[in-house]
Copies of this chain bind each other. A is one copy, B any other.
Amino acid sequence: MSSSFGRLFRVTTFGESHGPGVGAVIDGCPPGLPLDEEVIQRDLDRRRPGQSSLTTARQEADRVEILSGVEGGRTLGTPIALLVRNQDQRPGDYADLAAAPRPSHADFTVEQKYGLRPASGGGRSSARETVGRVAAGAVAARWLQAVCGVEVVAWVEQVATLGPAQVDPATLTRLQVDAHATRCPDPRLADAMSEAIAAAQADGDSVGGVIGAVCRGAPSGWGEPVFDKLEAMLAHAMLSLPATKGFEIGSGFGGAALRGSVHNDAFVARDGGGLGTATNRSGGVQGGISNGEPITFRVAFKPPATIARPQRTAGYDGTEVDLIGKGRHDPCVLPRAVPIVEAMAALVLADLALIQRARR
């Protein structure tokens, strides 16, 4: 509890980084959607460790197998179970964890909550848990694109103190984002970000950053007041990701400093009929319901807790120790977080789209 997310398009993830495998079961994907393993593999490859020198050295092919719910290349409307077997397990790397919990990692809280210490330390807190999210999100994204014409694009907006990246959310593509190893599509910043990550790694340290994201093509009417507003579901989804510390929709914290006369988005007649807004400080959402404008949001990621430098901290017994991180961890999760953020956004939107379809 609780490894499930969503109501009508519902995903349940499973798996430890040091067990046989990780995966997801999607319940509620509509029938008849063209789907095969390649659609899912594409997004898993974007999340996969070992893509570049910026990411962890852990090598995982991360090949997905569809266990159910698809026949003859189309979804049946039944649960779609997805399995990715683990390959490069080295539990020995975690032997030192027996004595002291890693600072700002989940070792301590997992032990407090469950009364045990998994071999991997934080158990399901591992970034590897997101494999199931990305696999499921790929299916949601497929449905959104095929049936609703909706696409989600995320990018690296800030690394350490470098940012924000300047991008045009109206036109940015995943191809443009993936063109640079950092997944920052602003050419003025991307190389500096690479260098900042490399410098941190050289120092045995880590850096955080911010992901920006946009959902384009969503019609008005998605989002369920009052508790399941679109931005509430997005915030829930994003803050459920490992290492996230903040979420903003539209103008976010910056909007809090403005006056209403400046912040309000005036309506304008759209070409082709209907109303749009002249500005989009609302981030595509008003009263928790999409208004037809691009949905824009940002997610803050802290620097990874596992670092190679010695850290002075207390062991489980209270005695001070100098802890040195082992294991293979990213000095910066931002580049790999891009497909993960996209996946969670797709899961939110697919679910809210289905709920709205039931209504009218």
Q: In the assembly, how many copies of this chain are there? A: 4
Residues 279-302 of A, flagged 1 when their CB comes within 8 A of B and 0 if not, give 001110111111110000010111
Q: Which B residues lie within 8 Å of A103 (CB)?
A: 264-267, 277
Q: Is B15 a contact of A2 with CB atoms below 8 Å?
A: no
Q: Is B16 a contact of A288 with CB atoms below 8 Å?
A: no
**A window 88-115: CB within 8 A of B:** 100-101, 103-106, 108-110, 112-115
Give, as a whole number of angstroms, the nearest-CB distance from A130 to chain B. Answer: 9
Q: Which B residues lie within 8 Å of A150 (CB)?
A: none
24 contacts between A and B (CB under 8 A): A1-B224, A3-B225, A3-B226, A13-B79, A14-B25, A14-B81, A19-B71, A22-B68, A32-B115, A76-B114, A78-B123, A104-B264, A106-B289, A109-B290, A112-B289, A112-B291, A231-B239, A235-B239, A245-B249, A258-B302, A263-B305, A267-B313, A354-B358, A357-B357
Q: Is A76 a contact of B116 with CB atoms below 8 Å?
A: yes
What 4 A-B pairs are tightest by C-beta distance, nearest first? A106-B287, A269-B318, A206-B260, A236-B236
Interface presence of A184 (CB below 8 A): no
Give, as a whole number of angstroms, the nearest-CB distance from A359 to chain B. Answer: 5
Q: Is A286 a contact of B108 with CB atoms below 8 Å?
A: yes
Interface presence of A47 (CB below 8 A): no
Interface presence of A34 (CB below 8 A): no
Q: A83-B67, A260-B305 are in contact. Are A229 and B224 (CB under 8 A)?
A: no
Q: A256-B245, A258-B208, A359-B77 are in contact. Are A101 and B275 (CB under 8 A)?
A: yes
Q: Is B1 a contact of A260 with CB atoms below 8 Å?
A: no
Give, as a whole number of angstroms, the nearest-CB distance from A254 to chain B. Answer: 8
